[in-house]
Structure 1
Amino acid sequence: MSLKALRTLVTIARHGTFARAADLLSLTPSAVSLHIKTLEDELQVALFDRSRRQVVLTEAGQLAVARAESILAAYDELADTLASGPSLRGRLRIGAIHTVLARRLPRALVWIKAHHPELHVSVVSGMSAELARRVEDGELDAAITTEPVSPYPQSLQYTPLFEDRFWAIASPDLAGQSLPTLLASQPFLRFDKRAWAGRQIEQELRRQRLQVNEQMELDSQEALARMAAMGLGVAVIPMSDDDLERLPAATVLPFGEPQLTRRMVLLEHEKSQRRHLSAVLRTALEA
């Protein structure tokens, strides 16, 4: 359960609208809605009465807000205590897949620099499987990766962070066509099959027996999205709601039946003597 989602719930309850919460938290409206949907799915309850025009909490929602306020207060107190205590020293070695480097990690690094200025952070990028191996071998303290298709080595422990959904992207001129038609008639811009997300895509294509005409294979989500939107073919990639909103004009269709998702996780070695350092990254990602 994400602290960010709990903070979103409390902000909506305090200020009365999803839109106001989005403004105060510097989130998109779709991101706010996704936070609430994720909480409701995890708790298996409705937090808001959707039969009303105004935002009205259900009984379960009122209880959830009260508990969320307590959790957030305890977290904020802990963060303040750590921030005011002795600054950590040493070197924190982080690995991250390319998507995280561009989107999530910079804000976390700023937090670490502000709260632990004497902690030297090094960052390397790579594919999920490679980064998992480097954490297992002790070359990295932690890595932000895709949850793998195959199980992790037993020595690794993971913490779920957030979830992306898979989408098929094509030129806006192709709007109205079904996904099988698009894939059969347009060049296929493949997400790298060596990546865990690429393997998920390949498995779903085979499961649905969808035929593709492969044109190129890249490991850059951003490049594939732009190429597809510009009419060079059809790409299937995982994206967050924020990624979707930044996408240029395009035809966008959900991919998978049901729609595929990928969960991003923080990997750590369960027996590492340096987990007090990787704990800083966990805190920074939730801040």
Structure 2
Amino acid sequence: MSLRALRTLHAIARHGSFARAGEAVGLTQSAVSLQVKSLEDEFGARLFDRSRRLPVLTEAGKIVLAKSEEVLALYDRIPEALGDEHALAGRLKIGAIQTALSGALPDALITLKRAHPRIRVHVVAGMSAELAAQVAGGELDAAVTTEPVRPHPPDLVWTPLYSDRFWLVAPKGNERKDQRELLNELPFIRFDSRAWAGRVIDRELRRQRMTVREEMVLDSQEVILHMVEKGLGVAIAPLSDDARLHLDLICLPFGTPQLTRRIVLLERQDRRTERLAEALTHALIEAGGRGAGTLEAVSAQGSP
């Protein structure tokens, strides 16, 4: 039995087709089909109903999927079990939002590598909601995201790392204007509401009955700030204290009281790589405390 074939089986179940599963695991569609056939030959049962446009798991397929999850989880824990407390080893696949990638995460990875050189970390970028879905689906072991807001995948837990505060940012030359004047008079560059931070901003704008003249919707905070620096409009964004001090922009506290967001390490409840993720958590809290906002106490939270 091939562990890779079992991982492919899980990818098909998550993505809904052989082609998309192949893209996720780095195989051609024909190679995915061959791996499924090898599993069916080994177990003597059809795992998918192929009579429909998209493959559907049979009852036998559902059993193999559930049982193989235990097998893969046990296998992934072997490197961790071989390492002692002071020499952790294993693979950790994590996701991170852009502000973490340009902020605390690089320093945290350096700290982690120095303390535990046998840990291998693979990093992918994304928005919080997308990364949460990948953690829930087992594609990522953990993700550095904004604290989840509804709706979010169930069965997730998170550990607070550090906090950012929300600011209305505007180009220089508008120092005499208050928030309402800035939002009414200048084009608004909106943080994409698919991102959790974007939803928080939208909710507060509605609560304060602030009207905006929207001209752009972007999902990259770095790009949003660059647009504001070029004088193309105003925006609302969560910023660490360190990042804000390096901006050549007007920054006004946004929200009454000022809104904050917690950056968290998001995991599944089963926490298959708990010791590795715990080491990363400590490194992130240390790095976040150096360059971000208020440091939060470390306590795992269940989904609200």
Match of 1:193 in 2: 193
CA 90–206 in structure 1, closer or farther in 2 if over 3 Å, else same: same
Q: Cα offset for 1:87? A: 2.7
- 1:211-251 alpha-carbon deviations (Å, 9 max, x no partner): 11111111222222232133111111010111110101x22
The separation in 1 between residues aligned to 2:85 and 2:283, in whole angstroms, is 16
Q: Percent identity?
A: 52
Aligned with 1:114: secondary structure? helix
The separation in 1 between residues aligned to 2:276 and 2:151, in whole angstroms, is 25
Contact 1:190 1:216 in 2 (8 A): yes
- 1:172-229 alpha-carbon deviations (Å, 9 max, x no partner): 1111111111111111111111100001111111111211111111122222223213
Q: Cα offset for 1:154? A: 4.3
Match of 2:158 in 1: 158
The separation in 2 between residues aligned to 1:143 and 1:86, in whole angstroms, is 23
The separation in 2 between residues aligned to 1:131 and 1:153, in whole angstroms, is 10
Contact 2:141 2:272 in 1 (8 A): no
Gaps of 5+ in 2: 1-82, 287-304
Contact 2:162 2:285 in 1 (8 A): no
- 1:124-163 alpha-carbon deviations (Å, 9 max, x no partner): 1111111111111221111110012216544211111111
1:237-248 matched pairs, under 5 angstroms: 237-248=237-248
Match of 1:277 in 2: 276
Contact 1:108 1:284 in 2 (8 A): yes
Structure with larger Rg: 2
CA 230–273 in structure 1, closer or farther in 2 if over 3 Å, else same: closer
TM-score, normalised via structure 1 length: 0.67
CA 267–124 in structure 1, closer or farther in 2 if over 3 Å, else same: same
CA 181–86 in structure 1, closer or farther in 2 if over 3 Å, else same: closer
Gaps of 5+ in 1: 1-82
Q: Cα offset for 1:86? A: 5.6
1:245-284 matched pairs, under 5 angstroms: 245-248=245-248, 250-284=249-283
Contact 2:129 2:152 in 1 (8 A): no
Match of 1:167 in 2: 167
Q: Cα offset for 1:261? A: 1.1
Match of 1:126 in 2: 126
Aligned with 1:172: secondary structure? coil
What is the total number of aligned residue pairs between the two structures?
Answer: 204
